[in-house]
Amino acid sequence: MENVRVRFAPSPTGYLHIGGLRTALFNYLYARHTGGDMLLRIEDTDRTRFVEGALENLLKALKWSGIEIDEGVMLDENGEVTQKGDCGPYIQSERVEEGIYDKYIDQLIEEGKAYYCFCSQERIDKVRDQQRADGLTPKYDGLCRSIPLEEAKKRVAAGEPHTVRLKLPVNRDITFNDKIKGKITFNTDDQDDQVLIKRDGFPTYHFAVVVDDHLMGITHVVRGDEWVSSTPKHVYLYEAFGWKAPEYIHLPTVLNKDHKKYSKRNGDGMVEDFIEEGYMPEGLINFLALLGWSPDSEEEIFTMKQLAEQFDFDRVNKTGAVFDKRKLDWVNGHYVRDLSVDELTEKIKPYMVKSGLIDESYPEDKLKLLAATWQSAIDKFSDAPELSKNYFLADKDMTWDEEAVEAIKTDDAKKLIDSFLNHLEEIDEIDEEFASTIMKKIQKETGIKGKNLWFPVRAAITGSVHGPELSNAFVIMGKEKIKERLNYVKENF
């Protein structure tokens, strides 16, 4: 069996989208599953859409996610962009500069499998508009197909603006087998004579991708569903060159909750946003692997190594997969629970500081206690400020929910609050001993028990009758904060 070689070949047109990360992941998992190699190639021939800094962002996002590149463009140990491998350069614009595509386009032209096209964009647009009006599929009408090659070459030499188009055979079925979708057939009459070289001399995606995949020895092309309709042109190009075509695997579309494409254009699903929200790479990768692929078991939590061991395209769905944020939170929450308290403290601190609830000087021991208190409820690190904000907010900015208001308006509540305030006067600061014994002392004094004891105190201090360990809240908030909070409740409810 030949050595499996797959590639992820994005364009540097902005931040990496979650759909792109899943494509990279499925390539990576298949390479690891088969003992093959994964390449990263940058397809930047569309210079109009190039975004400064997008390449660095892409590489950092892949590194963060744990997807390791074997060959191609990558970051070195200093975080600088570098290239590694024998098939380089791995950036298409650099391949253009080296003239790599020139001999292949010349070969197609000389063999009559491609032709120079001198039509202006204005003429092409008019033709397509008329075709639409006539109820036809809009495509190039082939005006320049019949220009003799010598005449075309003279016009090119004279500096006339031109493109180079693929000359598809007339009325011929092109069939290929997709590893997920099965046998797919297109007729050439429904296809356009694709532009292979643009007016600026740069190859189009459709031409460069075939040449590069062949020269880099790619055995399996794993990409998004949107490329299915382009694949016949690629298959025909392989045939025109006399090369063996790779296997094609088109992944199901990632859908939003409305079952529409989870689109980069709508600003949905940038990997950068998930990183900023405090998702863990293990959680996001585990979730993405299950987005369109199902293991041969009921398990849902996997390490990258376990995913690679089980992954195969035979268990990838044919239909689109819905991106369910609640499921992502559930999966990611599993990894949050596995962190040590020290690790979680380190992770949530930037979010707590950014929220303005604490500053850099906030005591480490209190932040650790806060992390331990809320760990079972945190699904992503940015949850920490929202969950714990009532420990820090000014009393006037607090919100007490309906159950809490009901609990603190009772006669019992007034007695409990007074008792708590009296005990606070006896200490300099709340320590662990005070926090763990105060409620027993209040119960003994007032004779109030059970939820009639706990609900009013919790409600008064935290704004809710539900929540994690209350004694932890006492320590985190401290004497002065709790004293202020209880006096505020006394005066305002």
User: Nearest 5 degrees, angle CA 381-CA 385-CA 387?
Assistant: 95
Residues in the chain: 493
Count of alpha carbons within 13 angstroms of residue 223, beta-carbon side = 20
Strand 220-224 vs strand 247-251: parallel, antiparallel, or unpaired?
parallel
CA atoms of 47 and 51, how far apart (whole Å) = 9
Ordered per-residue pLDDT tens for the chain, 493 residues: 679 999 999 998 888 999 999 999 999 999 999 999 999 999 987 777 777 888 999 999 999 999 999 999 999 999 899 999 999 999 999 999 999 999 999 999 999 999 999 999 999 999 999 999 999 989 999 999 999 999 999 999 999 999 999 999 999 999 999 999 999 999 999 999 999 999 999 999 999 999 999 999 999 999 999 999 999 999 999 999 999 999 999 999 998 888 888 876 666 689 999 999 999 999 999 999 999 999 988 899 999 999 999 999 999 999 998 999 999 999 999 999 999 999 999 999 999 999 999 999 999 999 999 999 999 999 999 999 999 999 999 999 999 999 999 999 999 999 999 999 999 999 999 999 999 999 999 999 999 999 999 999 999 999 999 999 999 999 999 999 999 999 999 999 9
- Long-range pairs for 321-325: beta carbons < 8 A, 24 or more residues apart: 321/252, 321/253, 321/254, 321/255, 321/291, 321/292, 322/255, 322/256, 322/257, 322/259, 323/18, 323/254, 323/255, 323/256, 323/257, 323/262, 323/269, 323/291, 324/257
Residues 6+ apart with CB under 8 A from 42: 9, 10, 11, 12, 55, 73, 90, 91, 92
Catalytic residues: 264
Q: Order of strands, edge to edge, in the sheet holding 195-197?
A: 114-117, 163-166, 195-197
Q: Which two tokens stand for residue 220?
A: 């399996």
Alpha helices in 16-90 (DSSP H): 18-34, 54-65
Radius of gyration of the chain (CA): 31
CA atoms of 40 and 10, how far apart (whole Å) = 8
Helix (H) or strand (E) holding 240, with range, is helix 231-241
The reply, when asked if residue 451 is annotated as ligand binding, is no
CA atoms of 46 and 203, how far apart (whole Å) = 9
Helix (H) or strand (E) holding 117, with range, is strand 114-117
Q: What are phi and psi of 217, to 5 degrees?
A: 70, 30
Q: Where do we find the tokens 């939170």?
A: 329
Task: Give the other-Cβ count within 10 Å of 429's Cβ.
Answer: 10
SS3 257: coil
Helix (H) or strand (E) holding 114, with range, is strand 114-117
Q: Which two tokens stand for residue 377?
A: 């409820």
